[in-house]
Amino acid sequence: MSFVQKNPTPLDTEENIARRVHSVSLKRGQKNPELCSVITLMGIRQESDFWNPWNRKDPSSERYDHDSESNDGRSVGYLQQQNGAPGEDLGDSPDNWWGPMVCRMTLECAVDTFQDRMSEDYQSVRDAWAANGIVQRIQGSGVPDAYAKHWDYCWSLLRRALATSPTPLTPVVPSPVKPAPTVPPAPVIQPNPGHRGDPLYLPELLRAFGVSVSTYTDAEGVPWDQRGHGDFGVIDYVIWHHTGSVNETDEGIAHHPALGLAATGLIHPDGHVTLTGSGIAWHAGDGIWPGVPRGSMNQRSVGFECAYSWGPEELHNPWPEAQLNAMIRVGGAISWYLQGTLPVDHQLAHKEWAGADNPIHNYQGKPDPANLDMDWFRGEVAKVAAAGPTNDPATEEDWMSNVNADRLNKAVDKILGGGTMPEKWDSRSIFARPGGVDDTVGMELFIDANAFNAWVILGAIAGFEPYADDVRRVAEEGPAEGTFAAEHYPENAKALAQAFVPLIGSAPAALQAILGPTGSLTDPPKKSAKK
C-alpha cells in the first residue's frame, strides 16, 4: 500500500495491537490462538504496518478514528479492506466481503471478519510460506508472496506483547462444549538454524544479547524491513566492514548514492546498532572464498558497517570499546541463532573476502575492518555464542571480562605491589628497550612513561652517563624497535630527546654558576680564621 499522510504517532502501539488481536483470537475460541494471532498480524503488518488509514476514495472512512491516509484503491483500515463501490453497503450480498465501514475501520471487528474467513487448515501451519498461503487466500493481494517475510517478526511481537501486557487480556467465556483456551507463558527466542528469508528476527535477537538496537525508517516512511535488493534465502555468512569515518549516518547506509542499501546495519562508535535494511544489501562486492563462488556473497550474507575512522593520518586508530563490544555481541547473537548454518568461522572481514587476507585471490584490495585481528574477534564472538542470550545491557568493559584468573591475579599483584608476578607489561616510555620495564611507578602504563621520561632526562642533565646515552640514542635513532613508543609516537619522541641533548651534563655547571666559586660541591665547608 502507499500512504498520502501519517499523523506524528499511530493510534496504538504494535504491542497493544498484538494484544487486541490475540483477544479476538481467544474470544473466538480458536484452537491455536497464538498461531491464529500471528497469521492475522502478518496480514496487518504487510497491509498497513500497524497504521489505521482512511481513504478519500471512500470518504465515509474519514468519520472513524484514523491516524493516516491511504490512496491504495479504496482500501481502508488495518487490513486494507474494501467493498463494492465507494460507500456502498451491500447488506447480505456475498460481495460484501468485509462488512460496513465501521467494521473495516475498527480493529477488533476487522480482525474478527478476517479470522472468520480463515480456513481451518491454518492449524497445520508450521512455517512462513504456509502462513503466507493462508493470508493470501483471504486478502487476494497483487503481491501474493509478500506476507511470508513477517513470520518471525510477528511471532516475536506477540510473545513480547503477551509477556509485557499491562492488564489482563479479555477473559474467555467458556463454551458449554469445550473449555476456555489458556495463554501459555511466552517463550523466549530460540535458535533456528533452519531459518530462510530476510532476517526479521534481528531486533528481538540483538536485544536478547544486550545490544542497543533500533530500526531505520526513511523520510518517505519506508521501514527497514521493506528495503533491500531482493529477498534472502539461506544466510550463512556475516561480513564485517568499516566506513572510514565516524560520521557515517544511517541514511548514508540505507540510501548510498551508488549502492542503494549498502549494509544490513550500522554500528555506531557508542555501540548503538541501527538496522537499515532486511533484504539483500550490496556490501561485499567482487570477491571469492573457499566454498563461495566469486561475486555471490551479497546474496547469502548480512553485512555490518562500523562507523570507524581510518586513513593515512589514523593508521593505528584504536577501536572504541563500546563499539567493539557491540560488534562481538552482534556476531555472537547471529551465530547462536543460526547455529551450524552460520558458524563462527563464517564471520569474515571484508578484507578476507575481497582483500589481501583472501587465501585465493585479492579482487578489490579491501583493508577493512582495519586494526582488527579477525582470529581474535572470532574467538570473542564464539564466547558470546556459547553463552547464549543475556538481558544485561552491553558495557564497554564486557569484551575484556574473559581475562583468565591467572592473568587477573597477576594484574592485582602488580597494582598492589606484590612480588609474585613473573612477567611484566612493556613500558610506554620513549627510553624503554624491548623486554625492559621500569618499576618505579604504579602499573607502568602512561604514568610510568611520564615518570621514567622525567627520570632519564633529569639523570642525563645531571651528567649520569647511562641516562645520557639513552637520550642520545633516542635523539639519533628514535625509540627502540618493539616498544610502545616506537609504534605510536616515534617522531615526537625523537624530537623531544633532541631538545635535551644540548643540556646533557649541564646541571653541575649551572649549579656552580649559581652558587659561585665556593669549591667542590662535595667538600666540607671551610672554617673562617679567627681574628
- Asked if 83 and 35 touch (Cβ cutoff 8 Å), the reply is no
Shared domain for 463 and 506, answered yes or no, is yes
* 158 assigned to some structural domain: yes
CATH assignment at residue 228: 3.40.80.10
Shared domain for 481 and 363, answered yes or no, is no
* 33 assigned to some structural domain: yes
Burial category of 131 from C-beta neighbours within 10 Å (exposed 0-12, middle 13-18, buried 19 and up) = buried
- Asked if 132 and 147 touch (Cβ cutoff 8 Å), the reply is yes
Which one-letter amino acid corresponds to residue 441?
Answer: V
Output the pLDDT for position 219: 86
Shared domain for 263 and 144, answered yes or no, is no
Shared domain for 390 and 435, answered yes or no, is no
Output the pLDDT for position 484: 77
Output the pLDDT for position 391: 59
* 528 assigned to some structural domain: no
Shared domain for 243 and 308, answered yes or no, is yes
C-alpha grid cell for residue 247?
Answer: 560520521
Output the pLDDT for position 482: 81
Task: Collapse the DSSP code of 516 into the 3-class scheme (helix H, G, I; strand E, B; otherwise coil) and give the result.
Answer: coil
Q: Give CA–CA dist 442/439, Å, rounded.
A: 8
Output the pLDDT for position 427: 63
Q: Give CA–CA dist 55/373, Å, rounded.
A: 56
* 414 assigned to some structural domain: no
C-alpha grid cell for residue 474?
Answer: 633516542
Whether the upstream peptide bond of residue 369 has omega within 30° of 0, thus cis, is yes
Shared domain for 256 and 396, answered yes or no, is yes
Shared domain for 356 and 310, answered yes or no, is yes
Helices (H) and strands (E) in the chain, counts: 17, 9
Domain residues for the domain of 451 are 419-515
Task: Collapse the DSSP code of 242 into the 3-class scheme (helix H, G, I; strand E, B; otherwise coil) and give the result.
Answer: strand
Single residue among 373, 400, 427 that ends a domain in this structure: 400
Shared domain for 140 and 235, answered yes or no, is no
Low-confidence ranges of the chain (pLDDT < 50): 85-87, 94, 167-187, 394-405, 416-423, 436, 438-444, 521, 527-531
What 8-state DSSP symbol labels residue 186? P
Burial category of 312 from C-beta neighbours within 10 Å (exposed 0-12, middle 13-18, buried 19 and up) = exposed
* 180 assigned to some structural domain: no
* 301 assigned to some structural domain: yes
* 473 assigned to some structural domain: yes
* 176 assigned to some structural domain: no
- Structural domains counted in the chain: 3
Single residue among 340, 368, 400 that ends a domain in this structure: 400
Which one-letter amino acid corresponds to residue 341?
Answer: T
Task: Tell me the residue length of the chain.
Answer: 531
Output the pLDDT for position 475: 94
Shared domain for 29 and 150, answered yes or no, is yes
Question: String of b and e for 488-497 (b: at least 16 CB within 10 Å)?
Answer: ebbeebbebb
Shared domain for 129 and 267, answered yes or no, is no
Shared domain for 47 and 18, answered yes or no, is yes
Shared domain for 382 and 425, answered yes or no, is no
Question: Residue 95: which residues within 8 A CB-CB, separation 6 or more?
Answer: 83, 84
